[in-house]
Amino acid sequence: MPVYKPTPIPASEITPRPLFNDRRRFMQIAAGASLAALLPPSVWAADNKLAGVKNPAYTVPEELTPYKDVTSYNNFYEFGTGKDDPAKNAGGLKTRPWTVTVEGEVKKPQVFDLDTLMKMAAIEERIYRLRCVEAWSMVVPWLGFSLAELIKQVQPTGKAKFVEFISLNDASQMPGQQTSVLAWPYREGLRIDEAMHPLTLLTFGLYGELLPNQNGAPVRVVVPWKYGFKSAKSIVGIRFAEQQPVTSWMLAGPSEYGFYSNVNPTVDHARWSQAKERRIGEFFRRKTLMFNGYEQEVAALYTGMDLKANF
């Protein structure tokens, strides 16, 4: 089993950089104004707030995608396949009480209540890119902590080589599950060293509030160097296994969606190029970066692997 050795974070990544290109907004933040002050008041339903300490090691030198776009342009097939379907149809999702069952090849299998899970480690704000396989991308201030914190607590056995994520399966709440566009429940997976990588974020919120339902409330993963579909939403199960799990997208199209699905501008999707992407809210397309810009941090995970064969 490949053991993850943390890559030293280069000095350029540690030096705090402006979070925004827009100088005025940056100066407001630098002057100590809270992010809340920069957003429309309607966004800040008091009970939905979630505080996170900014982690300057995890940011990108690009403008944030506006909250409105992050929460209205979504993929969440449990609520329909249109980009605006999740925001329209996910309102009734019941996100409390909520449990996440952690099982399989672990010494301490456990059912975590959401509130217990959220208190397991300090919630950080991390600004990550998220790039969909459909060649659009966003920059989002996520709130959560490294999934590794949870994995360490449950103590994987020597046999645990993969981690599977299982989303909620409830057609009464998720109208999209009345169709068979994907095999339900939505399943995704990572190799255990990918899951242990500090960048892999167990995510509870964005933009200073709890996750809106359409973004995967109440808990999801965000794996920033992989195509968006690896970042499973509304997770109810995490299973450790010796064998590579079969994911919903692999079942839907094995020649189009591989297990690894690393963002890679040099490996095209079966039906389109991955060389460029459209940042939501922008007109001109940008060049897609290797591993979505996280090459320095994650390339070592794939040393010696043929990334064309393992797409």
Ligand X SMILES: Nc1nc2c(c(=O)[nH]1)N[C@H]1C(S)=C(S)[C@@H](COP(=O)(O)O)O[C@H]1N2
Contacts with ligand X by CB under 6 A lie at 74-78, 130, 132, 167, 186, 215-216, 228-229, 231-234
DSSP 64: P
Based on CB atoms, which residue is closest to ligand X, 59 or 213? 213
Q: Return d(Cα 245, Cα 162) in angstroms, integer.
A: 7
| Stretch of residues binding Mo ion (CB under 5 A), selected from 72-80, 100-108, 211-219, 275-283 | 72-80
Q: Give the nearest residue (CB) to ligand X.
A: 228
CB 104 within 8 A of CB 239: yes
d(CA 221, CA 244): 18
Contact call for residue 228 and Mo ion (CB under 5 A): yes
Q: Could you say which of ligand X, Mo ion, none residue 167 binds, taking C-beta under 5 to 8 angstroms by partner kind?
A: ligand X
Which has the closest alpha carbon to 270: 95, 134, 158?
Answer: 134
| Least Cβ distance, residue 256 to Mo ion (angstroms) | 12
Q: Which is nearer to Mo ion, 52 or 212 (CB)?
A: 212
Q: What is the DSSP letter of 204?
A: E
Binding mask 74-93 for Mo ion (x = CB under 5 A): -x------------------
Residue 26's contacts (CB-CB under 8 Å, 6 or more residues apart) are: 18, 19, 20
Q: How far apart are CA 275 and CA 266, in angstroms?
A: 6
Asked if 249 is part of the footprint of Mo ion (rule: CB under 5 A), the reply reads no
State which residue, 156 or 208, has the beta carbon closest to ligand X.
Answer: 208
Q: How far is the CB of 271 from ligand X (least distance, A)?
A: 15
- Binding segment for Mo ion (CB under 5 A), chosen from 115-123, 125-133, 161-169, 235-243, is 125-133
Smallest distance, Å, CB 84 to Mo ion? 15
| Residue 144 touches which member of ligand X, Mo ion, none, C-beta under 5-8 Å by kind | none
**Tell me, what DSSP letter sits at residue 44?**
-
Element at 67 (helix H, strand E): helix 67-70
Rounded distance between C-alpha atoms, residue 171 and residue 89, angstroms? 12
**Residue 77, contacted partner among Mo ion, ligand X, none, CB below 5-8 A by kind:** ligand X
Cα 81 to Cα 98: distance, rounded to the nearest angstrom: 25
Q: How far is 59 from 127, CA to CA, in rounded Å?
A: 5
Nearer to ligand X, 216 or 237 (CB): 216
Q: Does residue 186 bind Mo ion (CB under 5 A)?
A: no
Residue 242 belongs to what H/E stretch?
none
**Residues within the interface to Mo ion (CB under 5 A):** 75, 132-133, 228-229
